[in-house]
Copies of this chain bind each other. A is one copy, B any other.
């Protein structure tokens, strides 16, 4: 029988495989034809704008990383600080590589569409997305793999792992919120100034805000999303490892036939090894999906998203016995895997099927009824995903205790590389459409890119479902890890276990305070988008007024100024919501102690999980209801009708809902949990 210890190197090997695969996809993509000069000029504007944002964002984050790194060095030691920085830097690297690939892939996708090959265009866009997908998964595994290889037997390994996760989380938080504000401010700003005020079409090259809008797709949906998924994967693995490290010997799950502490070693390594397996499976799935490039793209991508977690479960059922590991692990993984698939499909239902038609029909009586119906759909859509997560957690807990809950999250995230590939595909296809429009390539080319874009919308919904579902499970696991860490320290200090009784006033007050935070992040991010969009509208109007001949198409706009304004505004506006997420647990923890902090986490988790689903799905429903009407879903009410105008209002409200505030709230609860886990040992004895 093989031992799991012999697999200590697999995460690192898998990480390297991931990076090699990313490089292969990059080379394939970059060798595709780039189209004519106009296309490349536009593409280079987008690329330069995106890179300029990234560079400026990274400067801000460098300051944050140094400040927090010093604080960690003082409080938790220099190794922890070093790995905090590594966790952050790997996230930045993944974002940089993915963004680079996406902004080269967009114009090549347009070119493939220009020669009339939909299958080819699909593949180019997917290749571009896969660079991000495998960079994210590969770097994550490599980081944790190396960390554990060096520090496996160090008593501080837990602290180092937590710090690594906080590094990953911090970047995700700011990249997600900053990117979310950028993308929606540019989108809304360009739309209001162009479509609403000037009455010119979307993506019209005369509109100075169109480049910024296309930059925003990359900044938000590639870099922001990538950092987010990287942190989900890291947090899920770290939470499982952290629980395994601190769980009382008496309740270590019986993974192998051996006694207590041998089980612990297996439990710590297992999430890493299984995630490595998940990456290898993802490679197979992505290459496999390419064979079906002539089938219906939506079906191929949907299947590709659902297969990896299910395949992982199947492989585990077959392989785990050879390592003498209990099939209870398979059950926990399956709970997560199937739960994720169900949530993904439910999310697609709420942003595609009957609910969309209801929202579209509500537009017949004006924007107000459209808004009311969209809000109602979003609220309703919270129920089944949360019930599914609760069920998955229940099953996993029944078989493996709280460690099982973390393993369910690991199972749900097994397809990280695929989820990220498909997610990054979306903005590439979207950009390809924009480039086609701005280069005047004509309706037929645009029809192909529009179809690819529509597919991206469907799969984005499924990907979003996975992301939020796994976030909730991960937060549950992190929450347990936090409590175990606190009690671990308390017992080592000869103190009684922390009382987390729901009726104690500390816990209840923590829950109440926690319930506020998702609303505050929702509020600050939505007003941030509004303010930033306002500045963009102002500048676009100025250009229309002051650049002679611009509206007649005889002069060039100055897109770089809009990009600059959007960048400054997004970076400025991300600070308040970002600091709320990082400082709230630190303040409550150090001032009120671990008991109130546990309450804070529970309250923000309860509210945040539902809020994130509500906002993401309401936004998706509005978006797709508008598209439904544009495709003729309401006979007699075409594009431009009153019903369509009502739906456009819903779509505009939905933009910050689904791409800024919803993801912001989801990352909020993850960051709070990770930060709490890191400071757990420092505050364990307070109160």
Let me know if A508 and B366 touch, CB within 8 A: no
This chain's copy number in the assembly: 2
Does A614 make an interface contact (CB < 8 A)? Answer: yes
Given contacts A394-B505, A512-B386, is CB(A614)–CB(B379) below 8 Å? no
- Alpha-carbon distance A196/B646, docked complex (angstroms): 14
Contact partner of A519 among B380, B520, B534, B599, CB < 8 A? B380
A653–B372 contact, CB under 8 A? yes
| Interface SS, A side | helix
Judging by beta carbons under 8 Å apart, are B599 and A502 in contact? yes
> Using a Cβ–Cβ cut-off of 8 Å, how many residues does chain A contribute to the interface with B?
76
Are B366 and A503 in contact, with the CB atoms below 8 A?
Answer: no
Chain B min CB distance to A616 (Å): 13
Which chain B positions have C-beta within 8 A of A483?
A: 502-503
Residue A444 lies at the interface, judged by CB distance under 8 Å to chain B? no
Encode contact with B along A578-590: 1 for CB under 8 Å, 0 otherwise: 0000000000000
The answer to whether A512 touches B599 (Cβ under 8 A) is: no
Q: A372-B653, A502-B598, A508-B393 are in contact. Are A382 and B516 (CB under 8 A)?
A: yes
| A620: Cβ under 8 A from any B Cβ | no
Contact with B along A489-505 (1 / 0, CB 8 A): 00000000000111101
Task: Determine, out of A27-35, A59-67, A521-529, the stretch whose residues face the partner at the interface.
Answer: A521-529
Determine the chain B residues whose CB is within 8 A of the CB of A605 once the complex forms: 511
Residues of B within 8 A of A515 (CB): 382, 386, 606-607, 609-610
Closest residue of chain B to A648 (Cβ to Cβ) is: B368
A256 on interface, CB distance cutoff 8 Å:
no
Chain B residues near A367: list those with CB within 8 A: 367-368, 649
**Contacts A382-B516, A512-B606, A530-B372 known; A501 to B503 CB distance under 8 Å?**
no
Report which A residues bind B (CB closer than 8 A): 188, 192, 196, 362, 365-369, 371-373, 375-380, 382-383, 386-387, 389-390, 393-394, 397-398, 402, 405, 472, 476, 479-480, 483, 500-503, 505, 507-509, 511-516, 519-520, 522-524, 526-527, 529-530, 534, 537, 598-599, 602-603, 605-607, 609-610, 614, 648-650, 652-653, 656
Interface pairs (24), CB distance under 8 Å: A196-B365, A366-B652, A368-B652, A369-B652, A371-B371, A372-B529, A379-B519, A380-B519, A382-B515, A382-B519, A386-B513, A387-B513, A472-B512, A476-B508, A479-B508, A480-B503, A483-B503, A500-B502, A502-B507, A508-B602, A512-B606, A602-B606, A603-B606, A607-B610
